[in-house]
Structure 1
């Protein structure tokens, strides 16, 4: 696993991806996959991640807010 992570990080470095963007994208994908593995059950996903459900919900809102609550033109 360490080797795979090193290869991924090396690719990010080669492409000049800023650290903050890389961390944000890693967290977003990780959260999405854990949530998917728990069939959208935020409580179960939060337990697996070792965090409170409210914390997971806030993180999801940060990462996926635009997808979950699209703008409505009234």
Structure 2
């Protein structure tokens, strides 16, 4: 694996890619891969990456990978408003 990484580093250097860009490429690729393995579950993906879930969410936004889908209500609640607790302040 070290040989692969060293070879990749040489390719990046010869292509005039700076360290910061290389790190972003690697991070982006690892984040995408972790999310695919975790079937989109950010908590599981963050554990695989060894980072906090909030850090993953910040990186998703920074790299333009954040999912902007609107969450749908569960089928049982479709069309019904939430029930409010009586006596809650």
The interval holding the TM-score normalised by the smaller chain is 0.7 to 0.9
Note if 1:6 corresponds to 2:1. no
Larger radius of gyration: 2
Q: TM-score, length-normalised on structure 2?
A: 0.69
Distance in 2 between residues matched to 1:55 and 1:28, nearest whole Å: 13
- Unaligned runs of 5+ residues in structure 1 are 70-74
Distance in 2 between residues matched to 1:30 and 1:23, nearest whole Å: 10
Higher relative contact order (CA 8 A, sep 6+): 1
What is the count of residue pairs matched by the alignment? Answer: 68
The 4+ residue runs of structure 1 with deviation greater than 6 A are none
Distance in 2 between residues matched to 1:50 and 1:23, nearest whole Å: 16
- C-alpha displacement of 1:12: 0.4
Q: Name whichever structure is richer in helix by fraction.
A: 1
For residues 16-66 of structure 1, give each alpha carbon's deviation from its aligned partner in whole angstroms, at most 9, with x where no partner exists: 11111111111111111011110110010111122221111111111125x
Distance in 2 between residues matched to 1:53 and 1:10, nearest whole Å: 32
Q: TM-score, length-normalised on structure 1?
A: 0.82
* RMSD after superposition: 1.5
1:1-74 to 2 correspondence within 5 Å?
1-65=1-65, 68=67
